[in-house]
Copies of this chain bind each other. A is one copy, B any other.
Amino acid sequence: MMVKEYISTNKDRFLSELFDWLRIPSVSADSRHKNDVRKAAEFLRDKLSHAGVDKVEICETKGHPIVYAEKIVDASLPTVLVYGHYDVQPADPLELWTSPPFEPVVKDDKIFARGACDDKGQVYMHVKAFETMMKLNLLPCNVKFMVEGEEEVGSDNLGTFVKENKTKLKADIILISDTALISLEHPSITTGLRGLSYMEVEVTGPNRDLHSGVYGGAVANPVNILCSMIASLHDENGRVTIPGFYEKVSELSAAEREALNKAPFDLNEYKHELGIGEIKGEKGYTTLERTGVRPTLDVNGIWGGYTGEGAKTVLPSKAHAKISMRLVPNQVSADITALFTKHFESIAPAYVKVSVKAHHGGEPAVTSTASPAYKAASHAFEEVFGKTPIPTRDGGSIPIVALFKKELHLDTVLLGFGFDTDAIHSPNEHYGVKNFTLGIETIVSFFKFFAKK
């Protein structure tokens, strides 16, 4: 039986299994979902076991567990280490979902659910690609799986796990499906990822909420102060003003910029799809450059004072914000976190107190397009999509890539099948059924070409 045939014959079962997994709200950021996160790990353990791995185990960490599994065909053959994550982003704002985030449905041939694309849907392609290769006797090399439950909260315990299990994790290449294609017509492979520094700040004014009439105008308002401090973090050219922020940023050569901008991109379509009148970003760079190779700073959340119904004339005691920075080669997350903290504290005026805390970080990464593994991935796309994939830079972060390079000296191939428009981290996250099935086929094809190398 052919791969394509096996996948289409079993497609409905593949999907209903994935749906069972998506129904488990494994939100790693929310401690109320701690048990759901574990349930999702146990679900994956069982599916990998049924698919035919030699062994599978749930490895405890200080936080959420890591699922590890392996199938050793022959120790002399190369080994592919598949990485992914089974935790998901919080689903809020819930009211904006057109169907419940943890009750998956297919609409317009797309799976709608939190985690449908990021990353349960993409991880499950690997589970089913493995099953396919086992059932059709096509597995050409060894495979290991390491799927964590803390990617959405910064993979705090993955580093330790990797350091402590270097032998177990011995492999020849890392394979990750957690990125996006330009389109099915324009298959692409991500060759660059941004790093991350995620901060939380608190600005305290008076020691209690005050009546804005009695004190307004005489006492610094921490919300107004926080707004001014945040506003000052960008200059008129959209550049981040933190001293030293750009110091280590590697500028692309004219040739590299030209190659990067070759990727199909329609600005009007982009604006239309987002419902915005104008784009905004660092002066002197294109949108593909701004998201691919330039560092950024964004407020991810802000709150302070009275946010309920109606009007309350309060001068708040405190204001808060979650602020994150996306990093590019060769910025170092710990350095940027330190620079932000130093700068934010230094711009705090005398009439407020400021506290800065770091949530998590990750290093930027670039993968080679010259490696045999990349070529195998490229051939796989050519076989399944009939087109050579375009190398792209993705704005997102997968800190594990840099971690693997550092700790295991292994390169990574980012074989992702989502779309930027899949609304990951947003209400109504979805993943194309076709992306799912073509993904499985491409993964099987990758193993074939990679083992041949």
Segment at the interface with B among A37-45, A210-218, A383-391: A210-218
- Whether the pair A315, B303 counts as a contact (CB closer than 8 A) is no
The yes or no answer to A78 lying at the interface (CB within 8 A) is no
A: interface residue count bin: 35 or more
Give the distance to chain B from A211, nearest Cβ to Cβ, in Å. 4
Q: Which of A309, A360, A420 has the most CB of B within 10 A?
A: A309
Bound state CA distance, A349 and B277, in angstroms? 10
A300 touches B219 (CB 8 A): no
Q: Does A453 contact B (CB under 8 A)?
A: no
Cross-chain contact A209 with B395 (CB below 8 angstroms): no
Determine if B309 and A29 form an interchain contact, defined as CB atoms under 8 angstroms apart. yes
Q: Are B395 and A215 in contact (CB under 8 A)?
A: yes
Closest-CB distance, A6 to chain B (whole angstroms): 33
Provide the bound-state CA to CA distance between A424 and B314, in Å.
9
A322 within 8 A of B: yes
Q: Is A313 an interface residue (CB 8 A)?
A: yes
Known: A304-B301, A311-B29, A312-B29. A326 touches B217 (CB 8 A): yes
Residues in B with CB closer than 8 Å to A205 are 276
Interface string of A160-187 (1 = CB under 8 A from B): 0000000000000000000010000000
Query: A180 — which chain B residues lie within 8 A by C-beta?
Result: 214
- Contact indicator A279/B30 (Cβ below 8 Å): no
A100 at the interface (CB under 8 A from B): no
Stretch at the interface among A7-15, A123-131, A137-145, A280-288: A280-288
Does A208 belong to the interface (CB within 8 Å)? yes
- Indicate which residue in B196, B302, B311, B423 contacts A302 across the interface (CB closer than 8 Å): B302
A350 at the interface (CB under 8 A from B): yes
A300–B360 alpha-carbon span in the complex (Å): 30
- A148 located at the interface, meaning its Cβ lies under 8 Å from any Cβ of chain B in the complex: no
Interface segment, one of A66-74, A85-93, A338-346, A367-375: A85-93
Instruction: Report the separation of the CA atoms of residues A221 and B214 in the bound assembly, to the nearest whole angstrom.
Output: 34
Task: State in angstroms the CA–CA spacing of A96 and B204 once bound together.
Answer: 15
Cβ of A20 within 8 Å of any chain B Cβ, yes or no, is no
Within 8 Å of chain B (Cβ to Cβ): is A153? yes
A28 to B30, CA, bound (A): 33
Contact with B along A282-298 (1 / 0, CB 8 A): 10000100110011101
A302-B303 contact given A208-B427, A281-B218, A308-B29, CB 8 Å threshold: yes
Asked if A214 meets B291 with Cβ closer than 8 Å, knowing A307-B302, A351-B279, the reply is: yes
Tell me whether A326 and B228 are in contact in the complex, defined as CB-CB below 8 angstroms, given that A299-B221, A307-B303, A309-B29 are known contacts.
Answer: no
Q: Which residue from B213, B299, B351, B395 sits with its C-beta under 8 Å from A397?
A: B213
A residues near B (Cβ < 8 Å) are 28-31, 89-90, 92-93, 96, 152-154, 180, 194, 196, 198, 200, 205-221, 223-224, 226-228, 230-234, 274-282, 287, 290-291, 294-296, 298-316, 319-322, 324, 326, 349-353, 359-360, 394-397, 420, 423-428
16 chain-A/chain-B pairs, Cβ below 8 angstroms: A89-B312, A200-B311, A206-B274, A209-B427, A212-B324, A213-B395, A214-B291, A218-B281, A220-B276, A220-B279, A298-B315, A303-B303, A303-B307, A311-B324, A313-B324, A314-B425
A-B complex: 10 closest residue pairs judged by Cβ atoms: A217-B296, A207-B275, A213-B396, A29-B310, A301-B305, A220-B280, A231-B231, A278-B351, A223-B299, A227-B227
Given contacts A224-B299, A279-B351, 8 further A-B contacts (CB under 8 A): A89-B314, A209-B426, A211-B425, A218-B281, A223-B321, A302-B305, A311-B360, A312-B322
